[in-house]
A and B are shown apart, each in its own frame.
Chain A
Amino acid sequence: MSALRGKWLALLCLMPFALFFVAFQIAPLLWVASNSLHTAEGWGLGNFSEAFASPFYRQAMRHSLEVAFWSSLIGISIAILGSYSLRQVDSKLRDFVMAFTNMTSNFAGVPLAFAFVILLGFNGALTILLKQAGIIEDFNLYSKTGLIVLYTYFQIPLGVLLLYPAFDALREDWRESAELLGASNWQFWRYIGFPVLTPALLGTFVILMANALGAYATVYALTTGNFNILPIRIAAMVSGDIFLDPNMASALAMILVGLMTLITLVHQWLLRRSYHVSR
């Protein structure tokens, strides 16, 4: 039958895609997953217990989580404030700033690290300005605090782009109704605003966390691989010149993926139970 032949032909059309997707996405992941279980003594969880026992690797994990958490928290706070205010200003300014935010979301990785060195490095213009004003004593961009500032910068545009539509859920007439019923501004946010926005806020937070956990280019360009953080550790063990250990790299990579999977699962769970406004 020609209908059946059509189905087979259609399946054939899927093959090139499947081939490339398996070769460049699935197979590498499977290789990493299986090699993480591969130790000198054979198969087992040896790499993982070694990773969790080593203070050095534990420090890398802690740094990853700390930088991701704080940059996401500060980033989302600025994004909440910014996107809410964006809704309150006139459309000309709003459109301009939204377009600008969209544009800066492309400003990441190596170029961003360079820009921050110019601005906030040891001789950066902003560092000198803030020092002269007496606001800061000293600022080290190449430290954990410096990284948090840098990561926060690339979290803000993403946060605004994700949160701005979420404020749609908050209808203006609810605010008016609440006001008519005698609710204060604080009460409106405490009992209506935040509960309605919570799923969107948590979802955005989780995406920002994942974004920061996987970031490699920025921190690598800034510290040339001298800051102890998971993505740097992983890459150093497969591409460094001194110490190569692809199995340990795989185990650390799986730990990173595990952290991100956990975060994605939380995200899915939050999405399912999120509050939906009927339109």
Chain B
Amino acid sequence: MSHAENRSPLFHQLVVYALMLILLMPLLGTLIYSLSTSWSATILPSGLTFKWYLALWSDARFLSAFGRSLLVCFAALALSLVLILPLLFVVSYHFPKLDAVMNVLILLPFAIPPVVSSVGLMQLFAGGPLPILGTPWILIGCYFTIALPFMYRAISNNLQAINLRDLMDAAHLLGASTWRAAFMVVLPNLRKGLMVSVFLSFSFLFGEFVFANLLVGSRYETLQVYLYNMRNDSGHFTSALVISYFMFVLLMTWAANRLNKDKS
């Protein structure tokens, strides 16, 4: 007890509380705004109500935008898994030297801002053999590149931890084919790492705006684009939207953290 007190002088506690206050303020402001009847030109709102949430959750346009976002995100995550898992398996089992190359390549989605890629994507997919500009298909492809660095690192760390080569050799020795070993032995061992990376990737794909707005926009309105299009609507309504969105993402991150804790 006295030791703990020694290590936490008042100053550090104050700094930590101040940090939390700074980070909390915009969220708290939005939360109160979404719950108030009206709030303008005063410090405190005039009354509290749930009507904005009721209006939001009975709005058909909101619900379909929400559904579209879910669909695009899960499709993109499924595509990423289908593309990245074989890649990682092949790289770490057959071509370990490729890992260094991959580690450079997966920096690209980080280093190249989406707004830059969009310029090229808009021209490449406007016509030609694959005219998917303005459709959800282009988003699924783009979201794969966003999730890639994150998923690659998470799964690659997991693969190293399970000692892939020994596991495969053991399975081969017991008479399993490479395919069978990959599916029956390696994949179940990766399950938790996969789940964590999927949940975390989901939380930032769900909040993606740049590709969604520039490449597709209102032609296939996802949640973030809907939020932007609602900017001239009542601020209380959009606040309810922001809080609902944030709560949903929070739930996803919380699930990922829970899974992560179970693992260790």
A binds B: yes
Contacts A6-B178, A29-B117, A101-B23; A217 near B144 (Cβ below 8 A):
no
Contacts A88-B7, A217-B209; A32 near B119 (Cβ below 8 A):
yes
Min CB distance B66 to A, Å, is 14
Q: When the two chains form the complex, which single residue of B16, B30, B112 contacts A89, counting CB atoms closer than 8 Å? A: B16
Q: When the two chains form the complex, which single residue of A24, A81, A89 contacts B144, counting CB atoms closer than 8 Å? A: A24
Contacts of A82 in B (CB 8 A): 15-16, 19
Residue A49 is within 8 A (CB to CB) of chain B in the complex: no
Contacts A90-B4, A125-B39; A106 near B108 (Cβ below 8 A):
no
B111 touches A210 (CB 8 A): yes
Interface residues of B in 214-264 (CB under 8 A from A): 214, 224, 227-228, 231, 235, 238-239, 242, 245-246, 249-250, 253, 257
Chain A, interface residues (CB within 8 Å), range: 35 or more
Contacts of A20 in B (CB 8 A): 79, 83, 141, 144
Residue B161 is within 8 A (CB to CB) of chain A in the complex: no
Contacts A106-B203, A111-B245, A119-B29; A234 near B116 (Cβ below 8 A):
yes
Residue B171 is within 8 A (CB to CB) of chain A in the complex: no
A125 touches B15 (CB 8 A): no
Dominant secondary structure at the A interface? helix
A88 touches B86 (CB 8 A): no
Contacts A24-B144, A216-B210, A217-B210; A114 near B231 (Cβ below 8 A):
yes
Chain B, interface residues (CB within 8 Å), range: 35 or more
Q: When the two chains form the complex, which single residue of A28, A115, A117 contacts B119, counting CB atoms closer than 8 Å? A: A28
Residue A221 is within 8 A (CB to CB) of chain B in the complex: yes
Min CB distance B78 to A, Å, is 13
Residue A31 is within 8 A (CB to CB) of chain B in the complex: yes
Q: When the two chains form the complex, which single residue of A101, A112, A117, A213 contacts B113, counting CB atoms closer than 8 Å? A: A213
A30 touches B120 (CB 8 A): yes
B26 touches A25 (CB 8 A): no
Q: Among A7-15, A40-48, A51-59, A186-194, which stretch is in contact with chain B?
A: A7-15
Min CB distance B170 to A, Å, is 18
Contacts A107-B26, A119-B25; A257 near B112 (Cβ below 8 A):
yes
Q: Among B57-65, B67-75, B87-95, which stretch is in contact with chain A?
A: B87-95
Interface residues of A in 77-128 (CB under 8 A from B): 78, 81-82, 84-86, 88-90, 93-94, 97, 99-104, 106-112, 114-119, 123-126, 128
Min CB distance A99 to B, Å, is 7
| Bound complex: CA A112 to CA B25 (Å) | 11
Residue A140 is within 8 A (CB to CB) of chain B in the complex: no
Contacts A117-B235, A118-B30; A231 near B257 (Cβ below 8 A):
no
Residue B122 is within 8 A (CB to CB) of chain A in the complex: yes
Q: When the two chains form the complex, which single residue of A16, A118, A156 contacts B239, counting CB atoms closer than 8 Å? A: A118
Q: A32-B120, A111-B246, A210-B111 are in contact. List 8 more A-B contacts (CB 8 A).
A: A21-B148, A82-B15, A84-B12, A109-B224, A110-B209, A125-B43, A156-B19, A234-B119
